[in-house]
Structure 1
Amino acid sequence: MDRPLAGVRVLEVAQFTFVPSAGAVLADWGAEVIKIENPITGDGQRGLATVLGHGTGVDSAVFAPVIEGPNRGKRSIGLELGVAQARPVLDELIRRSDVFLTNYLPTARAKLHIDLDEVRRINPDIIYVTGSGFGTTGPDRESGAYDATAFWARGGSADGVTPSCAEQSAYMPAGGYGDNIGGMAIAGGVAAALYGRRTTGEPSVLDISLLAVGAWATQYSVNMALQAGGPLPKFECKTQAPCNPLTGSYRTADGRYIQLAMLQPTRHWPEFCRLMGCAEYAFDERFTTLEGLTENIDAAVEIVETAIGSRPLAECARLLDYGTGPWAVVQDSWEVGNDEALVANGRIVEVRDCRGQAQKLVANPVKFDDGELSLHRAPKFAEHTDEVLRELGLDDETLTELKFAGAIT
């Protein structure tokens, strides 16, 4: 069962990454996803020339990862929701769908008559899903957001990775970072809602906000702050725990980084010292207890820094592989895309672009049984307009009339 949502129909009225990435995951899982785009400009993401300073490739019109990632596997139609002639088409698409996805703000949804009441009037059984910045109730319900603002900044991640001495807060590590995490949350919610509708007969209304996803991602810190009654202090320490030298990131002799995550330092300290050529410290009384490590943390960190910093990455990796403590190389995006574990588990998947050439994309992280995930490229702008509308029963004459009226691309 590698496509458990086969037979489910999803109608997506959304743009950029947050909600569209959910549609891509649902398509990965077997759903039929139809994406409605503005008939002139298309999804706003199609116009992004750069993301975090990197070119997106949208000008090539062949294979732009910024479009492919959140839109693969869908069909696209260009439909002007503000034109009266387009309404019968939209109504029929809603009538045939199981799920309605949108990230339009409440005022825009009301203006376009795609709010909950209007959609449910046409299809009372549809699952209605809104991806928002800050939730559908409260003072910010009408405020637009991106993941950099709602998820990263307001959700606590930026503060969590920014040292107290920094002159500015840290940037997100990748474009669409919170959007893609949020997209998985939406996809999971849709799957649960589909199951709930099947067992109870009741369709759900879902709201997933970037802020809520951000708070969920940082919940350890948020929960502890709530218990403490105030913000958590920042520790000016090179490790991630002020009493554990075997956590945190250390630089190798050739300028790479190794992340240690040995959460039981007294257990792993002797082994680490023996493996890394500093056996004289393995049973040093200063480091045999947590209390001792806390009191002598600077000395312990210096030992680890020297052991790793005096060797190139390859040698460090070879030695640490003999041990039992968790660690990892800090990989760049190219290395992640070629990670042996991801490839072996089918999480880097080949897809054919519009010219039939092989490309690669990151798959969603959920693997069903032993099925091999097959991805299909993202649609070109409004590529399937005529095809989808003919499936609705419209003839060539009607299609021509709709095009002249500006209702479709």
Structure 2
Amino acid sequence: MDKPLAGVRVLEVAQFTFVPSAGAVLADWGAEVIKVENPITGDGQRGLATVLGHGTGIDKSAFVPVVEGPNRGKRSIGLELGLAEARPVLDELIRRSDVFLTNYLPTVRAKLRIDVEDVRRINPNIIYVIGSGYGTQGPDRETGAYDSTAFWARGGSADGVTPAGAGESAFMPAGGYGDNIGGLAIAGGVAAALYGRQVTGEPSVLDVSLLAVGAWATQFTVNMALQAGGPLPKLDAKTQTCNPLTGSYRTADGRYIQLAMLQPTRHWPEFCRLMRMDEYAFDPRFATMEALAENIDAAVEIVEKAIGSRTLAECARLLDYGTGPWAVVQDSWEVGNDEALRANGRIAEVIDAAGKAQKLVANPVKFDDGRLTLRRAPQFAEHTDEILRELGFDEDTLTELKFTGAIA
């Protein structure tokens, strides 16, 4: 059962990455997802020429990852929600859907008459989902947000990776970073709501905010701060934890290795033997946690020397013989070609609009032994006529709707 949501219909009235990425996951899981786009401008994501300084190739390619990632597997209809002539089309789409996804702010939802009361008036059994910046309650319910503001900055991640005394806070490691994590939260919530509706007969209204997702991601330190009664002090990962076998170390060829051996006294003798530093394996300075705490600088220097004097390939060969967890710090190209991801089908093939095979990161959930097959993202308003015909609108009506600007 690699398509558990087959038969579920999702109507997406949203743009950019946060909520659309949830629609992409639901499509991966088998749902039929129809994406409503402005008939002139389309999803704002389609106009992004750069993301974090990298060109998207938006004007040069039939395959644009910034669009494909959060929109694969959907069909697109260009519909002007602000025109009365478009309303019968929207109403019919709502009537036939199980789930309604949106990230529009309350004032916009009210203006377009797509708030929960409006949608439920047409389809009382629909699951209504809002992806918000700061939640549907409270002083910021009308405040717009991106993941860089609500998830990353306000949610605690930026502070967590910014060293003490830094001239500026650290920025997100990738475009859509918090959006894609939030999209998974929405998709999981939708799956739970679908099950709940089947069991109880009651449809849910879901709100997933980027701020809440950010707090969930940083809950370890947030919970500790709440217990401590104030912010946690900034710590050096290697020296302040009294564990030289955690943290990142630089190799001789300029790469980095992340160690995560959380029981240092257990792994220390093995690490020293693997790195041909037997003289330190049973050194009493490093035999107990108390001794390590007193001699942490010396221990860190030993590890730095062991790793820093070898290339990444040499370190990897030696560490592979051990039992302690470690990993290479990979760049995006290496992640896309990671053997474990590929073996588990998490880098999947998709055929683009020009018929060329491309690769995309799959959602992280694997059902049974099914091999995930992705479908490309729709081109702007690609399925408008097709969807309208399915809804029962005849050719004369299509022509009239186009003439009024109600559809693309």
Q: Taking structure 2 as the reference length, what is the TM-score of the superposition?
A: 0.99
| Kept in 1: contact 2:239–2:300 (CA 8 A) | no
User: Is 1:226 the equivalent of 2:226?
Assistant: yes
User: Is 1:399 the equivalent of 2:395?
Assistant: no
Q: Distance in 1 between matches of 2:179 and 2:141?
A: 18
| Kept in 2: contact 1:241–1:247 (CA 8 A) | no
SS state at 1:226 partner: helix
- Counterpart position of 1:344: 343
- Counterpart position of 1:60: 60
1:242-253 correspondence runs (5 A): 242-253=241-252
- Counterpart position of 2:208: 208
- Counterpart position of 2:304: 305
Change (3 A) 1:61 1:85: farther
Quote how far apart the aligned CAs of 1:295 are: 1.2
- Counterpart position of 1:23: 23
Could you give the per-residue CA deviations for residues 67-96 of structure 1, whole angstroms, max 9, x where no partner exists? Answer: 000000000000000000000000000000
1:154-303 correspondence runs (5 A): 154-235=154-235, 237-239=236-238, 242-303=241-302
List structure 1 segments (4+ residues) > 6 angstroms apart after TM superposition: none
Quote how far apart the aligned CAs of 1:278 are: 1.1
- Counterpart position of 2:327: 328
| Number of equivalent positions | 408
- Counterpart position of 1:80: 80
SS state at 1:224 partner: helix
SS state at 1:374 partner: coil
Change (3 A) 1:215 1:258: same
- Counterpart position of 1:359: 358
Range with greater deviation from structure 2 (204-213 or 289-298): 289-298
| Kept in 2: contact 1:10–1:97 (CA 8 A) | yes
- Counterpart position of 2:315: 316
Q: Distance in 2 between matches of 1:207 and 1:230?
A: 29
- Counterpart position of 1:128: 128
User: Is 1:390 the equivalent of 2:400?
Assistant: no
Could you give the per-residue CA deviations for residues 257-287 of structure 1, whole angstroms, max 9, x where no partner exists? Answer: 0000000000000000000121111111111
Could you give the per-residue CA deviations for residues 221-250 of structure 1, whole angstroms, max 9, x where no partner exists? Answer: 000000000000011x25285210000000
In structure 2, give the amino acid aligned to 1:270.
P
Q: Distance in 1 between matches of 2:64 and 2:266?
A: 48
Q: Distance in 1 between matches of 2:19 and 2:239?
A: 33
Quote how far apart the aligned CAs of 1:291 are: 1.0
Quote how far apart the aligned CAs of 1:294 are: 1.1
SS state at 2:59 partner: helix
SS state at 1:73 partner: coil
SS state at 1:60 partner: coil
Quote how far apart the aligned CAs of 1:165 are: 1.8
Q: Distance in 2 between matches of 1:102 and 1:336?
A: 31
SS state at 1:119 partner: helix
Percent identity of paired positions between Structure 1 and Structure 2: 84
- Counterpart position of 2:113: 113
Q: Distance in 1 between matches of 2:322 and 2:210?
A: 39
Over aligned residues, Cα RMSD in angstroms?
0.7
Could you give the per-residue CA deviations for residues 55-74 of structure 1, whole angstroms, max 9, x where no partner exists? Answer: 11111240000000000000
SS state at 1:27 partner: helix
| Kept in 1: contact 2:239–2:297 (CA 8 A) | no
| Kept in 1: contact 2:103–2:132 (CA 8 A) | yes
Q: Distance in 1 between matches of 2:290 and 2:41?
A: 62
Could you give the per-residue CA deviations for residues 40-67 of structure 1, whole angstroms, max 9, x where no partner exists? Answer: 0000000000000001111124000000
- Counterpart position of 2:148: 148
- Counterpart position of 1:49: 49
Change (3 A) 1:240 1:130: farther
Range with greater deviation from structure 2 (86-95 or 59-68): 59-68
Change (3 A) 1:94 1:332: same
Q: Distance in 2 between matches of 1:295 and 1:218?
A: 30
- Counterpart position of 1:379: 378
Q: Distance in 2 between matches of 1:61 and 1:116?
A: 38
Change (3 A) 1:126 1:238: closer
In structure 2, give the amino acid aligned to 1:370.
D
Quote how far apart the aligned CAs of 1:114 are: 0.1
Q: Distance in 2 between matches of 1:203 and 1:242?
A: 48
Q: Taking structure 1 as the reference length, what is the TM-score of the superposition?
A: 0.99
- Counterpart position of 2:32: 32
* Structure 2: segments with no counterpart, 5+ residues: none
Could you give the per-residue CA deviations for residues 7-30 of structure 1, whole angstroms, max 9, x where no partner exists? Answer: 000000000000000000000000
